[in-house]
Structure 1
Amino acid sequence: MGRRADLLFVTAPAIAIVLATATPASGADRQDISIAPGRLGEAAIALGRQTGASIGMSDQSLAGIRTPPVQGRMSAEAALKQLLKGSGAKAQRIGGNGWRIVRARIAPARPAVAPAPIQIAPIAEQAPAEIIVTASKRDTPLPRYAGMVEALDAGLFTTAEASGGTATLLARVASLSSTHAGAGRNKLFIRAIADSGVAGPTQATTGQYLGDMRLNYAAPDPDLKLYDVGRVEVLEGPQGTLYGAGSLGGIIRVMPNAPNLAEYGGQMSAGLSATQHGDPGGDISATLNLPIVAEKLALRVVGYGVRDGGYIDDVNRGKDDVNRTGTYGGRAALRFAPDADWTIDLNGVYQHIDGDDAQYATRSVGRLERASAVAQPYYSDYMLANLRIEKQWDSLRFVSSTGYVRNILAESYDATQPDGPPALFRQRNKVTIFSTENRLVRDLDNGLGWILGASYLQSTSDLNRSLTSFGTAAMQPVIIPGVAMFGRGMAAPATGVRNMVKEATLFGEASFEPVKGLIATFGGRLTNSRLSGEALDPVAALSDSELARAEAQADRSETIFLPSASILTDAIPDVTLYARFQQGFRPGGLAVDDQRVRRFQNDRVSTVEIGARKGVPGRDVFAASANIAYTDWRNIQADVTDRIGLPTTANIGDGRIYTVEGRIVVRPTPAITLDGSVIYNDSRLTQPNDFVRALSYDGRSLTLPNVANLGGRLAFDYRTQIGGEMDLHLSGSARYVGKSRLGVGPILGQTQGDYVDTSLSASLTRGPVQYSLSLTNLMDSDGNRFSLGTPFDLRTDYYTPLRPRTVRFGIDFAF
């Protein structure tokens, strides 16, 4: 059997070769062919299936060329000619039943008698391709996916946005939010599934993936830069059936470009930025694709460095622009395709982030200013290795993904007490993840099919803490009870905690069509979690019996079944109606509360939603989607602060969330796209536990933390040609983030949000060179993104401002 290219031209346009074969047939045989308008990548796959031809590409950029519909009885060669007519590409025969698509050579133009005037004309309208939701793990066409999804193709990202990492996704997806504590230390939330703003040992509510490999577990967003990425998909949750624990809010799946097996090439970029009220910055990147054995083995390497200038002044220490951040890292991917049916990928990632200081300010001190006794640096060190193996049998494929992650986040907070010497609290969280998933998938073009899989995950989190005072031993105040202060810059250990989770899982999902136009999907996930925990460097005040009791509570096993079901109809032309039910959970563990090691239990969400979708964004003149969801959240895990002010984790009670969201995308002309989206959240902690009631007023219900009540985004995109030789691209957006609260109760009740973030960019491309100019925060807004400064002082009017108005000039060169 030949290999089906499983729609990777949609998910990763950089894949160089498509082998789309079915039953062997001669290229000259006339056959019934029906190919919808779309991109050349998908058209080649469809043609290969229908004719049995093997079709390859030598240039990754050809996959995105728009193609017309092809209908009728003809040979594969005739169909190829129709697809490639006017595209600037041609087909070369390879063997009796194979073709390679290459870029056609353009004959040199005759010298012009006189210079022609520059003409600006819109890019010719071409039929866009279908959007495939690959994060569904069954490659489901968007019209037949029951749920809200944002699919961001690489063509939407400028180099400036790639250097921004997760911040770029936040600017584009209205349902995505963040704590904004700093690059590499933020917690991400999708829809309104948010626990709190402080960082503790809880598992993330949003699952993040690089291809098929999980990026995080009990740690914040690693904030990998988006260089050389083919596509990003954001699926709203829960996504418990396919992704398991930690996908309560949804998942973010980043799909990097794969190695090109046929052609050497690459890209380089550089940019300089200037921030009003702050330091300059810059970024540089390079991508190299190197075929080692033609059509069999290739290597792709990406490297980058980013420097973000600071803009916060510390008036107490007399230092300006203290919050400078530097990031460097890269990726390497080795692809081996021994034959048409096998693909083996070996991937590696490394990234290091250094933050010179925290990025919060104090309104009572001044705009973009604060007064701290000590610097509060942090760093994030991230490493990933992954092996992915795929075997193809027509519409059946087997995928195995195994990998290892090591993520170290070291943070520091100003712990200085009134009239006391300078003091610094440090915590270092080292998370390791080993995971493997093996699944068998049957993909059908109409969105039907099934998936069966098994996975195993082991995650260990070591949270170490210490307290350092820079005064003399005789003048030490009590900052953390039980922690003996040494003074003179000597670190005193504070109680930390280790949590280990081992998860073994079986999962499956199937879609069928009982009547034409009605699709039913059922699935389930059975997970056994083995949990264990222990104290690290316990203070002397903790007795052996207390530690033994807490650790005994943590050492346990839990088995959870997560069902899912959806029903969808597309019987009305160009309209999709759906209803969905899904669940998600997070396992429990140990946390340090008032220097005591305590257990927190698992939590679970159940979501029911109904939605409608018309058209496909970017393909149709008018596309719209809307969704209403109700979420029941039981035994909510939240990272809170104990009575000392240190981050800890507790179950705060039960809650519910109502969510209404919608999006409209309009293309009044082929050159212009207008995009608008809005989301409204109504969240309540309906059954607070005793711990929360002690912090509340009269036991009234409380708003869940870090959930903006309202959010929205307006954007435009304009593309045109100048003189037939240059492409002009203009885009702009404005995003509103509504009000939210930092945490639960009056101590963490500070408000945040209620600001508008804006951006504008322009690029001019001629041949392999692109020049770009971008401007962010056009109004130089001072909006508050996050109200937490240091957890040792929760009453000061801290705020985290937007980065001030910033302009960047960049140049890209492809070869």
Structure 2
Amino acid sequence: MRRKTDLLFVAAAVTATATPVQAAERHRISIAPGRLGEAAIALGRQTGASIGMSDQSVAGLPVKGLNGQMSLEVALRRLLDGTNVRARRIAGGTWRLERKPNQTPSRPPQAPAIPALPAPEADPVEIIVTASKRDTPLPRYAGMVETLDNSVFTSAEAANGSATLLARIASLSSTHAGNGRNKLFIRAIADSGVAGPTQATTGQYLGDMRLNYAAPDPDLKLYDVGRVEVLEGPQGTLYGAGSLGGIIRIMPNAPNLGEYGGQMSAGVSATQHGDPGGDLSATLNVPIVAEKLALRLVGYGVQEGGYIDDVNRDKEDVNRVRTWGGRAALRFAPDENWTIDLSGVYQHIAGDDAQYATRSVGRLKRASAVTQPYSSDYLLANVRIERQWDNLRFVSSTGLVRHDLAESYDATQPGGAPALFRQDNKVDIFSTENRLVRDLDNGLGWILGASYLQSTSDIHRSLTSFGTAPVLPEIIPNVPVFGRGMPAPATGVRNRVKEATLFGEASFEPIRGLIATVGGRLTNSRLSGEALDPIAALSSADLARAEAQADRNETIFLPSASLLTDAIPDVTLYARFQQGFRPGGLAVDDQRVRRYQNDRVSTVELGFRKGMPGRDPLALSANVAYTDWRDIQADVTDRIGLPTTANIGDGRIYTVEGRIVLRPLTALTLDGSFIYNDSKLSRPAQFLRALSFDGESLSLPNVANLGGRLAVDYRMVLDGDMALHLNGAARYVGKSRLGVGPILGQTQGDYVDSSLTASLRHGPLQYSLSITNLLDSNGNRFSLGTPFDLRSDYYTPLRPRSVRLGLDFAF
């Protein structure tokens, strides 16, 4: 039977009657950009109103998203802005959406795939912290958070992946071993610069799916990403193990159920002192069944030209990197209450050679005996199910990850034959999380959930010598040297972790203007480990003893609590306490298998926030934190120079950070931020105590004591379909040390990185010009070259001054 379209109520999920007074009541509203029909359903559900349409053709009109506290009337006005549709009250809480007079039905315009630049006269809305898993308004979130929406991601920035986040967030830092093999740190929670079997200190997520565990940052490109949120840690209650420093949550754009569309981008770049590069990307959104089923595809390829010369092998620009990959997402919405998303990701990174240089050889030069290539293959599959009942929401996310990282290091000894050490880390992750959430007004509500994670990390190692002499000297004790390019296995390790978790958090308002939040996470971890390809010198008794120590069961409870007040108009004050942990495991130290135990972080912080970036003429935020870190796990090197993991002792960290955002003009934004860290290994482990000499203390590695960023952003609409965007930024990275002690104590940092971007949008086309490293600074991002030689003056330079021309087309 055909449904009459005389009066189609698309948002009658809640049929409560609202009086005019109730219509003016402020509601907590969060609606994603999309089609008017879907937005009306969500708005009716969130406000209790019945919103209908007398003309079904308007349901396909594209509308902007809404986020914030506002009345139903204000929400309708903002939702319908620019659509030639008006809202008319029929009676009580019943509204009808209809075309304005003299407006004839037409084919709904297609939503451009390139994010529209915000009009200067548009009223900004509140920022919602979705990574809190309870859609908390920013003024009522107790903690430091950075949010980057799709308006900041140009095609050039999308092609840079995690480097874009590092350039924009002062509290985020990284090692710089190469794309796909870096470790990310938030605040000053950093363990070391070398890559071993320990778990990351920063949790990374694509939507609700965990990206990493006992492996570096996969460095996914940021094409077709709607938003990125960075929450400072610990985040143990909601995210569990591996969120000591915090979490990074990347939220890709979801399939649009009603509109066909897409985007293509292309760019060419030139690097001073180096090779050219380029990037291509394409996004396609295809509705398969209108308002029920849609597919979204993303594909890309990026080539970064090399700029380091190897004088020993007489090769130029050896460190070229190629990346290609894509995403696919299928959304099924059988009705307004259910949403089912199936998604997949694949990315391949191939680095032709290592990224470091040697100062004594010359700028952007080194002298290596062998090529040191690396590669990363990353595969993810996820299914997410969401069910909505008024202000009650159920979310289930389940997925698999396979991450294969292959690295190689120059193991040539002075006067010896060329040799290459290879390490292959294969990580498998299965994770599922199921949570029930109740979102109430003004950040109140609760969350209750359960999760299970299983991770296996296999590290295989080998040594290859290219010598031809009958007898070759030993490089790694007890590892044979065959010569003539024949690899010999070295001892590797396998670690397995199974985590079962219950977690919960609730916020309530004991008195008006004061919000208290309490939560906890109970985790049972089952750990096991074993040696892989053990050398002949390792006895069965040694192996059995180490593996027996690694096979254990631990139960850990992580509490959290915060107090927040917004009693002072437009000002938020908060205090927060939270904990985080990482499980232990096995590592290979001097070709022997040893156990390292779990570590634990406790952080107390005080902060305030005034105004909101992008909305108010002045927005301020500041935070002071103290962190106590027990039994610190760190990937260090053994006496041979091979990466291993050990507990290096207890430490403490003081952190002070702040941010100011000014909007002297509607089109102009000035943004400044800084972070200061004072870290100390307050109680070093026994094997490190000899390194603390002359009363000097040991600082924690890889995070600068001081960092800051200044940025200027200007956006102006030149004509009805033409807009100009200018952005300039400079970031200072202070001094830090590669590791703990004199051998790994090389200094790094103390440089300024700068950039300038200009884009002009004309209808569906966008032209862009970007320049990075304006000053052509050499700098030193990372002091590690090869772990088989820790005394040379290695450094990892910034990419020299680079210019990119880009073209984007939306359809």
Q: Same fold (TM over 0.5)?
A: yes
State how far apart, in whole Å, the 2-side matches of 1:190 and 1:122 are: 30
| Structure 1 position 243 matched with structure 2 position 239 | yes
Q: What runs of 5+ residues in structure 1 fail to find an aligned partner?
A: 1-17, 73-78, 109-120
State how far apart, in whole Å, the 1-side matches of 2:689 and 2:677 are: 23
2:50 equivalent in structure 1: 52
Q: SS of the residue aligned with 2:23?
A: strand
State how far apart, in whole Å, the 1-side matches of 2:82 and 2:59 are: 15
1:33 equivalent in structure 2: 24
CA offsets, 1:136-193, max 9 Å, x none?
0011000000000001001111110000000000000000000011000000000000
Offset at residue 426 of structure 1 (A): 0.1
| Counterpart selection for 2:516 from 517, 520, 523 | 520
| Counterpart selection for 2:423 from 418, 424, 427 | 427
Counterpart contact for 2:601–2:627, Cα < 8 Å? yes
Q: SS of the residue aligned with 2:470?
A: helix
| Structure 1 position 146 matched with structure 2 position 142 | yes
Offset at residue 87 of structure 1 (A): 2.4
2:756 equivalent in structure 1: 760
Offset at residue 694 of structure 1 (A): 3.4
Offset at residue 49 of structure 1 (A): 3.0
State how far apart, in whole Å, the 2-side matches of 1:507 and 1:256 are: 26
Counterpart contact for 2:28–2:441, Cα < 8 Å? no
Equivalent residue runs for 1:510-589 within 5 Å: 510-589=506-585
CA offsets, 1:736-787, max 9 Å, x none?
0000000000000000000000000000001111000000000000010000
Counterpart contact for 2:187–2:232, Cα < 8 Å? yes
CA offsets, 1:357-390, max 9 Å, x none?
0010000000000000000000000000000001
Q: What runs of 5+ residues in structure 2 fail to find an aligned partner?
A: 1-8, 34-38, 107-116
1:199 equivalent in structure 2: 195
Counterpart contact for 1:736–1:755, Cα < 8 Å? yes
Offset at residue 460 of structure 1 (A): 0.1
| Structure 1 position 306 matched with structure 2 position 297 | no
State how far apart, in whole Å, the 2-side matches of 1:675 and 1:754 are: 21
State how far apart, in whole Å, the 2-side matches of 1:597 and 1:67 are: 54
Residues 58 and 217 from structure 1, CA distance in 2 versus in 1: closer, same or farther, beyond 3 angstroms? Answer: farther
| Structure 1 position 208 matched with structure 2 position 204 | yes
Offset at residue 692 of structure 1 (A): 1.0
| Structure 1 position 440 matched with structure 2 position 440 | no
2:85 equivalent in structure 1: 90
| Structure 1 position 229 matched with structure 2 position 225 | yes
What is the number of residues matched between the two proteins?
778
Q: SS of the residue aligned with 2:769?
A: strand
Equivalent residue runs for 1:257-276 within 5 Å: 257-276=253-272
Offset at residue 707 of structure 1 (A): 1.6
Residues 47 and 782 from structure 1, CA distance in 2 versus in 1: closer, same or farther, beyond 3 angstroms? Answer: same
CA offsets, 1:421-444, max 9 Å, x none?
100000000000000000000011
Residues 552 and 382 from structure 1, CA distance in 2 versus in 1: closer, same or farther, beyond 3 angstroms? Answer: same
Equivalent residue runs for 1:112-127 within 5 Å: 123-127=119-123
1:511 corresponds to which letter in structure 2?
S
2:766 corresponds to which letter in structure 1?
Q
Counterpart contact for 1:284–1:304, Cα < 8 Å? yes
1:87 corresponds to which letter in structure 2?
G
State how far apart, in whole Å, the 2-side matches of 1:784 and 1:450 are: 46
Residues 20 and 577 from structure 1, CA distance in 2 versus in 1: closer, same or farther, beyond 3 angstroms? Answer: farther
Counterpart contact for 1:456–1:504, Cα < 8 Å? yes
Counterpart contact for 1:324–1:356, Cα < 8 Å? yes
Counterpart contact for 2:233–2:244, Cα < 8 Å? yes
Counterpart contact for 1:634–1:654, Cα < 8 Å? yes
1:62 corresponds to which letter in structure 2?
V
Counterpart contact for 2:174–2:182, Cα < 8 Å? yes
1:632 equivalent in structure 2: 628
State how far apart, in whole Å, the 2-side matches of 1:173 and 1:37 are: 28
Offset at residue 478 of structure 1 (A): 1.1
| Counterpart selection for 2:363 from 367, 377, 386 | 367
State how far apart, in whole Å, the 1-side matches of 2:338 and 2:761 are: 37
State how far apart, in whole Å, the 2-side matches of 1:101 and 1:601 are: 66
Counterpart contact for 1:35–1:46, Cα < 8 Å? no
Residues 22 and 445 from structure 1, CA distance in 2 versus in 1: closer, same or farther, beyond 3 angstroms? Answer: farther
1:412 equivalent in structure 2: 408
Counterpart contact for 1:20–1:49, Cα < 8 Å? no
| Structure 1 position 800 matched with structure 2 position 796 | yes
State how far apart, in whole Å, the 1-side matches of 2:298 and 2:99 are: 26
CA offsets, 1:224-246, max 9 Å, x none?
00000000000000000000000
1:788 equivalent in structure 2: 784
| Counterpart selection for 2:729 from 721, 730, 733 | 733
State how far apart, in whole Å, the 2-side matches of 1:39 and 1:387 are: 23
1:8 equivalent in structure 2: none
CA offsets, 1:529-565, max 9 Å, x none?
0000000000000000000000000000011000000
Equivalent residue runs for 1:350-749 within 5 Å: 350-697=346-693, 700-749=696-745
Residues 361 and 444 from structure 1, CA distance in 2 versus in 1: closer, same or farther, beyond 3 angstroms? Answer: same
Residues 494 and 91 from structure 1, CA distance in 2 versus in 1: closer, same or farther, beyond 3 angstroms? Answer: farther
2:295 corresponds to which letter in structure 1?
L
Q: SS of the residue aligned with 2:63?
A: helix
Q: SS of the residue aligned with 1:446?
A: helix
Residues 650 and 698 from structure 1, CA distance in 2 versus in 1: closer, same or farther, beyond 3 angstroms? Answer: farther
> TM-score, with normalisation over the residues of structure 2?
0.92
2:745 corresponds to which letter in structure 1?
G
2:675 corresponds to which letter in structure 1?
I
Q: SS of the residue aligned with 1:384?
A: strand
Offset at residue 721 of structure 1 (A): 1.8
Counterpart contact for 2:287–2:295, Cα < 8 Å? yes
| Counterpart selection for 2:14 from 11, 23, 28 | 23
| Structure 1 position 814 matched with structure 2 position 810 | yes
Q: SS of the residue aligned with 1:547?
A: helix
Counterpart contact for 1:760–1:775, Cα < 8 Å? yes
Residues 316 and 101 from structure 1, CA distance in 2 versus in 1: closer, same or farther, beyond 3 angstroms? Answer: farther
Q: SS of the residue aligned with 2:131?
A: helix
Offset at residue 699 of structure 1 (A): 7.1
Offset at residue 47 of structure 1 (A): 5.6
Offset at residue 92 of structure 1 (A): 9.6
Equivalent residue runs for 1:144-223 within 5 Å: 144-223=140-219
CA offsets, 1:1-56, max 9 Å, x none?
xxxxxxxxxxxxxxxxx976552269999962346899985995556533132699
CA offsets, 1:708-751, max 9 Å, x none?
00000000110012233310000010000000000000000000
State how far apart, in whole Å, the 1-side matches of 2:298 and 2:569 are: 43
State how far apart, in whole Å, the 1-side matches of 2:553 and 2:632 are: 19
2:221 corresponds to which letter in structure 1?
K
Residues 154 and 381 from structure 1, CA distance in 2 versus in 1: closer, same or farther, beyond 3 angstroms? Answer: same
1:325 equivalent in structure 2: 321
Residues 100 and 316 from structure 1, CA distance in 2 versus in 1: closer, same or farther, beyond 3 angstroms? Answer: farther
Residues 809 and 697 from structure 1, CA distance in 2 versus in 1: closer, same or farther, beyond 3 angstroms? Answer: same
Q: SS of the residue aligned with 2:443?
A: coil
CA offsets, 1:471-525, max 9 Å, x none?
1252412110010111000000000000000000000000000000000000000
1:812 corresponds to which letter in structure 2?
D
2:563 corresponds to which letter in structure 1?
I
Q: SS of the residue aligned with 1:745?
A: coil
- Answer with 635-644 or 27-36: which moved more: 27-36
Residues 61 and 52 from structure 1, CA distance in 2 versus in 1: closer, same or farther, beyond 3 angstroms? Answer: closer
State how far apart, in whole Å, the 2-side matches of 1:300 and 1:673 are: 33
State how far apart, in whole Å, the 2-side matches of 1:437 and 1:21 are: 31
Offset at residue 272 of structure 1 (A): 0.3
State how far apart, in whole Å, the 2-side matches of 1:81 and 1:398 are: 27
Residues 20 and 139 from structure 1, CA distance in 2 versus in 1: closer, same or farther, beyond 3 angstroms? Answer: farther
Q: SS of the residue aligned with 2:641?
A: coil
1:137 equivalent in structure 2: 133
2:51 corresponds to which letter in structure 1?
A
Counterpart contact for 1:37–1:129, Cα < 8 Å? no
